[in-house]
Structure 1
Amino acid sequence: MEFSELLEQAGGAGLFQTLLLLTFILPCFMISFHVLLENFSASVPGHRCWTQLLDNGSVVPANITPEALLTISIPPGPNWEPDQCRRFRQPQWQLVDPNATTSSWNEADTEPCVDGWVYDRSTFTSTIVMKWDLVCSSQGLKPLSQSIFMSGILVGSFIWGLLSHRLGRKPMLSWSCLQTAVAGTGTTFAPTLLIYCGLRFVTAFGIAGIFLSALGLMVEWTTTSRRAVTLTVLACSSSAGQAALGGVAFALRDWQTLQLAVSVPFFAIFLISWWLPESARWLIIKGKPDQALQELRKVARINGHKEAKNLTIEVLMSSMEEEVASAKEPQSGLDLFRVPMLRKRSCPALVTSFSLLISLYGLVFDLQSLGRDIFLLQVLFGAMDILGRATTVLLLSFLGRRTILAGFQVMAGLCILANTLVPPDLQTLRVVLAVLGKGCFGISLTCLTIYRAELFPTTVRLVVLFFLPETRGLPLPDTVQDLESQKSTAAQGNRQEAVAVESTWF
């Protein structure tokens, strides 16, 4: 694992790494907008059936109140509020009588909302639920659209991981930004729900590419001692995006305007991405030492590091000889389960990631069940996430990855379980537990992001927790052999090269 030494000769942690981090803050900030967008663009407003008496002013009797018209037109629902999905076939005038009882009508007197719905537009002037009537018998289409979006991230993670390894991090990052910008903007003008879902899938596909490519470049241009802090800063920018989404959605109450506002900035991100250098580590492994040397010297110039004059192709090839030889061997995603050392890491990592993410998304995608002010809730979730992720830097200085990840996942789970026992009318307590759980998830997810990058070699990195080894202070592995070396080093207690994370770097 000699690439870290080459990186040190190019300045290690200097102006270039700072500029790289600042460049990636914007896309990480904006990604959160798209992931959580449907908390607002697909918000379900209050609604009831359209009726002629209530909604056709020309036939409304002048001597009857709106409340009485609602009583004779819409049957009561489960909570004795106007039913959202049924209406009376004919006005039930007998219900105006103060002595009328519930037996004055029956189910045969009602029918579905055959003429459409009337929506409460006091919170949002327009959502996709209003546009395509995703309520009552069609209410299952709303979560379906969110599932399609998450499927795009899932498929994109596999595809972009392979393409990034074969074609490079930088071109995939630029293409992903352009794809997200075009598809996201196009979603604004989708004429049908089917086209809307298709464009959301393409957008999510691009977002996965941005995340994977940016993470790969950031990790591979960052020294071991700064890795945790750098990734934590990016994680905090993502959390800041969550908080900012609440404010943006509060200002823009129309789903099309909101969709456009969160998509157009990716055109600027696409243009900015062109200054980024390709990963020198990837170039060397792919047999492009000339280009790798150019990138390293470019980075050294930006960092003002003169020792880069000692870098030559011969030095690069001799330093990375083992990694280059390993890259020439046949590689596939099946190596994650075929190679014993990788299998011991892959299975626990997959289970841990799945359990963490399914709980996290289950919490953040259901704001309406926690309270009426979803704008404030989104801001609170983002703010607590920033606090939790920033705390991770300090925790990583004193505790191991496994301890942090296991401990805070348990705490997050307890918060969610406790919330299921709280009565719905105690909204404040439910919000407090949800926000605390979100903070615990923030710490866990940040730790997991750092941990995964340290667990797997470069060739497979982009593709039961206590069985995972500790990686604190160890350089990134490039090959499977490096994993064995890590195991040997840990067993001997040889941690002289481990450098404590400095939480005051930024």
Structure 2
Amino acid sequence: MKFDEILTQIGSFGPYQKRNYVLLMIGWILTGPFMGLSVFINGIPDHRCQIPGLENDTYEIQGSEHQRLIDTYIPLSTHDNKIYEQCNVYQIDQSQTVFDNDSHPINATKSKCSSWVYSKQLFDNTFVMKENLVCDDKYKVSLSKTIFFGGVLLGSFMFGVISDTIGRKKTLLVAVIFMFASGISLAFSVNYTMFVVLRFCTGVCAVGMFMTVYVIGMEWVGPSRRTFVGLVIALIGPVGSLFYILISYYVRQWNWIIIALTIPIGLFLALWWFVPESPRWLSGKGRKKEAAALLKHAAFINKTEFSEKVMEELAPEKKEAGKVWLLFSDRTLGCRTVVIFYNWMVASMVFYGLSLNTGMLYGDYYINFLLSVLMEFPGHALPIFMIDRIGRKKSHIIYMTVGGLSCLSTIFTVNYGGTELQPLTTALAMIGKLFSTAAFATIYVISAEVFPTAIRNAGMGSSSCWARVGGMISPFIADTADLVGGTTGTAVPLVIFGGACLIAAGLTLLLPETLNQHLPESIEDGKNFGK
């Protein structure tokens, strides 16, 4: 007897599993905001150099004399979307500097400034404002995002090993405790180094919570309901980001935002006691009596029958012994592996690139991020209705093509549309976010079905690594907007995202359709699959 048969016997998704699932979804939702934490705590408001010698200088104009000082010391910007330069100040020599009728110096030289004043329209205080991560240090903002995803990459490996060693429930406890500790510590970061180290730690712990919650949920559910349960938890994920927006809108202090998001993580410890261990893991470790006790209790709650004798008949599950290099043991399999890796990277790059960099879009900062999050709901729902009707391959090509064309089209609305088409630029970016979400969900299904059973774990694990790479490079692609500058610069990251999506759509043509096909088991099956 297989373990899935036992789960079917006690109820694939009965009241007991549903109760546990609700508890686990709370943990899933509470962890979500930490993936997009940089949107508000690292927000970069409008700013300019501080007027030399004026200690009480503010970004907001205090009066006519203040305006005269600004005109005297701060150069006007050459960019259409900025009034003043953000990184330079005039060196004024009162005996030699000549001014025009508007108090602007004519013959003064510029120099880089070392202190700034910030607009309080969007944020009261962000970590960027605290540490002055602007101008020559602006790259540190993107670097902190990349370091966070580096932590996510490490956590994917680390918590997978820990979970298989000490169990799912204990691993969840470790992740929650360290998530709470690193989150609270992050709120009290005194410098950039401390901040990025703790962001790295939160990345490690966040993915640890995500993975463990997901695994426990899936290992308690029978095969007939597993796909449905997986889709539901993906659909519910953006709820955490909505909570993050609400907190950020009303708090607007970077450290208090972090504290407000971290405290519920600590409170989740009270719910952890009610989360059961995975009986599948217990059985695999030879602890069949403990597994039987949990299954018996589940059957009682579900009002079904369970006999401990079935545990004696349970056949040991075969562990896949595939190695990563076997993914490239054949030309066909290797080609498909490269295509899948690239699609994972692009889907992640576009998803996080559009999620974490809404500040590069036109319109209200908070509303743009809200729209970006809302796009995830239809993005997760779309594959449910399409992949089983027209196929995985066609669906993925449609998602990548439509998303890519939407992002590419922004070059026309930005360069030729003027201010009246700025809302259309944002709308096109949101369409790109919607379809990148759908593509992310679909490439997961394609990968799981294209990789042979013998190397499926190795293939999925490697694909996940490339997704993290996509997340790590996305902040620097967003920074190309500043390198180009002006209104054209706004479209450059979107054009890069769009071009990458179209290439991914073209490469997907090389993959086989997996809908209603017998999936490959051995390496040989994988070589011949779809031929």
The code of the aligned residue for 1:362 comes to G
Indicate if the aligned counterparts of 2:184 and 2:259 stay in contact, CA closer than 8 A.
Answer: yes
* Aligned counterpart, 2:13: 13
Indicate if the aligned counterparts of 2:172 and 2:213 stay in contact, CA closer than 8 A.
Answer: yes
The code of the aligned residue for 1:112 comes to K
* Aligned counterpart, 2:136: 137
The code of the aligned residue for 1:434 comes to A
Distance 1:264 1:63, change over 3 A: closer
Deviations 1:39-78 (A, max 9, x none): 1111111111122465458xxxx99633222111112222
* Aligned counterpart, 1:37: 37
The answer as to 2:383 corresponding to 1:392 is: yes
CA displacement at 1:255 relative to structure 2: 0.4
Give the distance between the partners of 2:63 and 2:262, measured in 1 at CA: 51
Distance 1:68 1:380, change over 3 A: same
The code of the aligned residue for 1:22 comes to V
* Aligned counterpart, 1:410: 401
* Aligned counterpart, 1:82: 84
The answer as to 2:101 corresponding to 1:98 is: yes
Alignment coverage as a number of residue pairs = 471
Secondary structure of residue in 2 paired with 1:81: coil
Indicate if the aligned counterparts of 2:16 and 2:301 stay in contact, CA closer than 8 A.
Answer: yes
Give the distance between the partners of 1:409 and 1:5, measured in 2 at CA: 38
Unaligned residue ranges in structure 1 (runs of 5+): 492-506
Deviations 1:435-478 (A, max 9, x none): 11221122222334455566675865656645666666899x9x
CA displacement at 1:293 relative to structure 2: 2.3
Distance 1:187 1:30, change over 3 A: same
The answer as to 2:343 corresponding to 1:352 is: yes
Deviations 1:344-386 (A, max 9, x none): 8754432221121012112112111112411111111122211
Distance 1:382 1:56, change over 3 A: closer
Secondary structure of residue in 1 paired with 2:92: coil
Q: Where does 1:108-147 land on structure 2 (aligned, <5 Å)?
A: 109-114=109-114, 116-147=115-146
Identity level (%) = 26
CA displacement at 1:258 relative to structure 2: 0.6
Indicate if the aligned counterparts of 2:173 and 2:269 stay in contact, CA closer than 8 A.
Answer: yes
Secondary structure of residue in 1 paired with 2:153: helix
Secondary structure of residue in 2 paired with 1:51: coil
The code of the aligned residue for 2:310 comes to T
Distance 1:203 1:275, change over 3 A: same
Match of 1:429 among 424, 427, 447: 424
Q: Where does 1:291-370 land on structure 2 (aligned, <5 Å)?
A: 291-306=290-305, 308-309=306-307, 311-316=309-314, 320-321=315-316, 323=317, 326-327=318-319, 346-370=337-361
Give the distance between the partners of 1:242 and 1:95, measured in 2 at CA: 53
Secondary structure of residue in 1 paired with 2:414: coil
Secondary structure of residue in 2 paired with 1:40: helix
Distance 1:148 1:219, change over 3 A: same
Distance 1:178 1:403, change over 3 A: farther
* Aligned counterpart, 2:473: none
CA displacement at 1:431 relative to structure 2: 1.3
* Aligned counterpart, 1:502: none
* Aligned counterpart, 1:242: 241
Secondary structure of residue in 2 paired with 1:309: coil
Distance 1:345 1:271, change over 3 A: farther
* Aligned counterpart, 2:175: 176
* Aligned counterpart, 2:256: 257
Q: Where does 1:455-494 land on structure 2 (aligned, <5 Å)?
A: 460=458, 465=508
CA displacement at 1:152 relative to structure 2: 0.5
Give the distance between the partners of 1:473 and 1:299, measured in 2 at CA: 33
Indicate if the aligned counterparts of 1:53 and 1:69 stay in contact, CA closer than 8 A.
Answer: no
Indicate if the aligned counterparts of 2:452 and 2:525 stay in contact, CA closer than 8 A.
Answer: no
Give the distance between the partners of 1:302 and 1:345, measured in 2 at CA: 45
Deviations 1:219-243 (A, max 9, x none): 2222333222212221122122223
Distance 1:187 1:345, change over 3 A: same
The code of the aligned residue for 1:87 comes to V
Distance 1:335 1:67, change over 3 A: same
Secondary structure of residue in 2 paired with 1:7: helix
Distance 1:200 1:148, change over 3 A: same
* Aligned counterpart, 1:51: 51
Secondary structure of residue in 2 paired with 1:398: coil
Give the distance between the partners of 1:10 and 1:156, measured in 2 at CA: 33
Indicate if the aligned counterparts of 1:405 and 1:448 stay in contact, CA closer than 8 A.
Answer: yes
Distance 1:336 1:181, change over 3 A: farther
Give the distance between the partners of 1:131 and 1:44, measured in 2 at CA: 11
CA displacement at 1:274 relative to structure 2: 3.1
Distance 1:264 1:437, change over 3 A: same
Distance 1:90 1:486, change over 3 A: closer
Give the distance between the partners of 2:216 and 2:526, measured in 1 at CA: 23
Distance 1:225 1:343, change over 3 A: farther
Tell me which moved more, 401-410 or 14-23: 401-410
Secondary structure of residue in 2 paired with 1:12: coil
The code of the aligned residue for 1:191 comes to V
Unaligned residue ranges in structure 2 (runs of 5+): 463-506
Secondary structure of residue in 2 paired with 1:98: coil
Give the distance between the partners of 1:402 and 1:291, measured in 2 at CA: 43
* Aligned counterpart, 1:229: 228
Give the distance between the partners of 2:330 and 2:207, measured in 1 at CA: 26
The code of the aligned residue for 2:370 comes to V
Indicate if the aligned counterparts of 1:39 and 1:366 stay in contact, CA closer than 8 A.
Answer: yes
Give the distance between the partners of 1:18 and 1:339, measured in 2 at CA: 43
Q: Where does 1:21-32 land on structure 2 (aligned, <5 Å)?
A: 21-32=21-32
The answer as to 2:442 corresponding to 1:447 is: yes
* Aligned counterpart, 2:487: none
Give the distance between the partners of 1:63 and 1:471, measured in 2 at CA: 68
Indicate if the aligned counterparts of 2:12 and 2:224 stay in contact, CA closer than 8 A.
Answer: no
Give the distance between the partners of 1:4 and 1:342, measured in 2 at CA: 30
Secondary structure of residue in 1 paired with 2:307: helix
Give the distance between the partners of 2:523 and 2:274, measured in 1 at CA: 33
Deviations 1:179-229 (A, max 9, x none): 111101110001111011001100110011112222222222223332222
The answer as to 2:157 corresponding to 1:158 is: yes
Indicate if the aligned counterparts of 2:159 and 2:171 stay in contact, CA closer than 8 A.
Answer: yes
Tell me which moved more, 175-184 or 398-407: 398-407
Give the distance between the partners of 1:483 and 1:219, measured in 2 at CA: 26
Secondary structure of residue in 2 paired with 1:110: strand
* Aligned counterpart, 1:498: none
The alignment's TM-score, normalised by the length of structure 2, stands at 0.79
CA displacement at 1:141 relative to structure 2: 0.7
Indicate if the aligned counterparts of 1:88 and 1:111 stay in contact, CA closer than 8 A.
Answer: yes
Give the distance between the partners of 1:220 and 1:470, measured in 2 at CA: 28
* Aligned counterpart, 1:4: 4
Secondary structure of residue in 1 paired with 2:348: helix
